[in-house]
Amino acid sequence: MFPTDTTATVPVTQEVLDGIGKVLAVHLSYSSRAEQRGRTPKFPSYFMKATSSLSLSGDSVERPAETELLQFEGEIALVIGTTARRVTPEEGWAHVGWITASNDLGVQDIKYADKGSNIRSKSGDGFTPFGPVLLPAAGLDPENLRVVTKLNGAVVQDATTQELLFSFGQIVADLSQQMTLHPGDVILTGTPAGSSVFQPGDVVSVEVSGNGATTGELLTTAVQGAEGFKTFGNPTKVTDADRIDAWGDEEAAGLASAAEADVLTPEVRAQLEAAAIATLSTSIKKAGIENCTIAGLTATKGRRRVIGRARTLRYVPLREDLFKQVGGGYNAQKRIIDDLNEGDFLVMEARGEQGAATMGDILVTRAQVLGAAGIVSDGAVRDLAAVEDIDVPVFHNGAHPSVLGRKHIPWDIDTTVACGGAAVQPGDIIVADSDGIVVIPPALVAQVAADAAAAEAQDAWVLEQVEAGHAVDGLFPPTGEWKAKYQAFKEGQN
């Protein structure tokens, strides 16, 4: 039976673990983690962990055989003390009986298989270390708690709840809208930046403190498991994007900088060439990048597909004194044009301004001579008829005869820019034609290309069925019987 005295500090024993009702977890809740991931959610989102994943301080956890990405995430766990159903954010914290430390472990090698629910990646036996004591919530300030995670004694995560995107009260209230939270239910409240991978033999500790009280260190040792994932279920699959996500960054993952890596292999390039822009957009969103399209521009070369690595140029609004300092002569615009290499795709931020040109035929010709793949500007171009005759594709926001000095100052190059509503960084992969322009982070390009190729193959099969006279209900996209038929078709192709 779960403890009922919410005024007492409670040691976490196996009996306490056995009394826990459900384990809920927040995906993303700390600003440092959101910044690391490059996205900030407007509202919290959640997943569930099996109660069989709970373990005690001092227990070990197995890394399954033939996997590499056992990830730790130090977190503050809330334990519900009184029943909560449809409470307000202002009332939510009052329903928390205790807080403690937890470690939201996961094996990222199988994460892809459950499409965000994390069932297998996060619910392995021992994957939710918990304790070593429950601290009464009534004596704590939820806005001034601290979580510290150490890997083999070295601090790797250190954050306070002042950087939470969502208060604990809001999280409790939000969950209580749809489900009753009972005493003994647990909510893992997300992890700050610094989460990473640990290896067999490594020890991770998590400690939560506030108002002079502490949970003590929650200790977990990784050991190598003898059993892996069998062939009757999804196989493990790890991409470089998964490694970067699990380790925290490219350097920690032991990977070359994405800007330096040759991600446009012949296979990837062929897949990008064959996929519709709409399909690529969907695949990028499935990979976690929602805002991936540069919108509202016109292509000089119609449906010709263009693929290249982004180089960037940013214009700022005209200010006469600044233009005198940096706008004339061999300015940033001319410098980046002369510095383009074969396969570069110049992306210009011009704030959507149509009242002055950002480039004309001479500079576009220079880009063509240097082997540039294409040019994108969310501003205007001049000499449009001549630009349209030049072989390098240009995507623009209209024509204007004036020079850039009427509205713009060429300011800086090879920095993150905002073009047509999308953020673009140097090294991003740009894929474009008259249907649209998509931006793919280089770490995701192989994953996106493969997913798009699979989607195109399915769409081609669906089109054949439609042409044969079948109705689209249940066929587009395939579900039920049609899904089974498509799977049989794929197996027959292999």
Binding residues: 360-363, 382-383
Residue 230 corresponds to which tokens in the numbers above? Answer: 């069998």
Residue 266 corresponds to which tokens in the numbers above? Answer: 């012949």
CB 483 within 8 A of CB 475: no
**φ, ψ (nearest 5 deg) of residue 403:** -80, 165
| Exposed / middle / buried, residue 30 (Cβ in 10 Å: 0-12, 13-18, 19+) | buried
| Exposed / middle / buried, residue 154 (Cβ in 10 Å: 0-12, 13-18, 19+) | exposed
* Length in residues, the chain: 494
Residues 6+ apart with CB under 8 A from 488: none
**φ, ψ (nearest 5 deg) of residue 410:** -65, 120
Q: List the binding residues for substrate.
A: 360-363, 382
Q: List the binding residues for Mg(2+).
A: 383
Distance CA 171, CA 165 (A): 10
Residues 6+ apart with CB under 8 A from 324: none
**φ, ψ (nearest 5 deg) of residue 174:** -65, -45
Distance CA 438, CA 306 (A): 11
The 3-class secondary structure across 429-468, one letter per residue, is: EEEEECCEEEEECHHHHHHHHHHHHHHHHHHHHHHHHHHC
Helix or strand or coil: residue 71?
strand
DSSP string, 76-92: EEEEE-S-BSS--HHHH
CB 456 within 8 A of CB 484: no
